[in-house]
């Protein structure tokens, strides 16, 4: 007659029946009515709340190739999304794009591939972001562990955030008046445009 309920850590979903009940089996001995569930990191989903965690599929194990995952993150209305990759390692052909809004046509905040553990995203301008993970390569990798939180909207003393260039990096994440943000390219790529910009 007893029952137990399983819950997963942030970023994971219960796969299988979350509540198990102890019943009498055919032989008269007590057994659970369902197999024990497991917690898995899904490919895509809806994430709502003031803070949370988004994980690549199967994290912390290697993700499976040949999939595109869409993660929709929404924080409360009067806030914007701030996020950071607590862990990030993908195969070089596998790309994580973060858009400033719930559409793939929304402004691109960042496009990352390779190793970017500790990378903070530019502040979103809305309370929604879309994370698109395209796993097309053949090499295995662990993927990502993304943490986000709601922060108050920026004031008039701050410029809008600037995304990292594809195949390069942004040096600096201060977007206040007078701040300078610099850019550099990965080996083998040439920078097109200004190597630095200032918030006037």
Predicted model pTM? 0.72
Q: Are residues 13 and 89 in the same domain?
A: no
- 106 and 72 in one domain? yes
86 and 5 in one domain? no
d(C-alpha 59, C-alpha 41), whole Å: 6
Spatial distance between the Cα atoms of 192 and 110, rounded to a whole number of angstroms:
17
Measured in whole angstroms, the distance separating CA 153 from the mean position of its chain's CA atoms is: 20
Alpha carbon separation from 164 to 48, 126, 168, 170 (Å, rounded): 25, 18, 7, 5
99: CB partners within 8 A, 6+ apart: 105, 106, 107, 108, 109, 129, 130, 131, 132
- Regarding whether 2 and 90 lie in a shared domain, the answer is no
Residues 115 and 57 in one domain: yes
Q: Do residues 147 and 162 share a domain?
A: no
8/72 same-domain check: no
- Print the domain residue range for 55: 43-153
CATH code: domain of residue 78: 2.60.120.290
Residues 165 and 137 in one domain: no
Reading the chain (200 residues) residue by residue, the pLDDT tens digits are: 799 999 999 999 999 999 999 999 999 999 999 999 999 999 999 999 999 999 999 999 999 888 999 999 999 988 889 889 999 999 988 999 999 999 999 999 999 999 998 888 887 888 999 999 999 878 889 999 999 998 877 655 666 666 667 678 888 877 777 888 888 888 888 887 778 888 76
Alpha-carbon dihedral 9, 12, 17, 21, rounded to 10 degrees: -10
CATH number of the domain at 195, please: 2.10.70
Q: Are residues 77 and 4 in the same domain?
A: no
Place of tokens 């929304």: 106
Same domain, 78 and 173: no
Total domains present in the chain: 3
**What is the distance between the alpha carbons of residues 112 and 6, in angstroms, rounded to a whole number?**
34
In a shared domain, residues 47 and 92? yes
Scored b (16 or more CB within 10 A) or e, 64-101 reads: eeeeebebbbbbeeebbbbbebebbbbbeebbbbbbbb
Query: Are residues 130 and 149 part of one domain?
Result: yes
């Amino acid at each position: 007659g007893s029952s137990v309920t399983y819950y997963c850590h942030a970023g994971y979903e219960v796969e299988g029946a979350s509540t198990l009940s102890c019943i009498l089996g055919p032989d008269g001995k007590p057994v659970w009515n369902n197999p024990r569930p497991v917690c898995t990191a899904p490919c895509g989903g809806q994430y709502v709340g003031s803070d949370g965690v988004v994980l690549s599929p199967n994290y912390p194990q290697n993700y499976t190739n040949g999939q595109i995952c869409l993660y929709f993150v929404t924080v409360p209305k009067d806030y914007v999304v701030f996020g950071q990759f607590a862990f990030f390692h993908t195969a070089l052909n596998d790309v994580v794009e973060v858009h400033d809004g719930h559409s793939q046509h929304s402004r691109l905040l960042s496009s990352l591939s390779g190793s970017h553990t500790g990378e903070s995203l530019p502040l979103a301008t809305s309370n929604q972001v879309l994370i698109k993970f395209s796993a097309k390569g053949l090499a295995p990798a662990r993927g990502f562990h993304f943490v986000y939180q709601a922060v108050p909207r920026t004031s008039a003393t701050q410029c809008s955030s600037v995304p990292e260039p594809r195949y390069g990096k942004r040096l600096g994440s201060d977007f206040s008046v007078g701040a300078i943000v610099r850019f550099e390219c990965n080996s083998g790529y040439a920078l097109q445009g200004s190597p630095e910009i200032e918030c006037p």
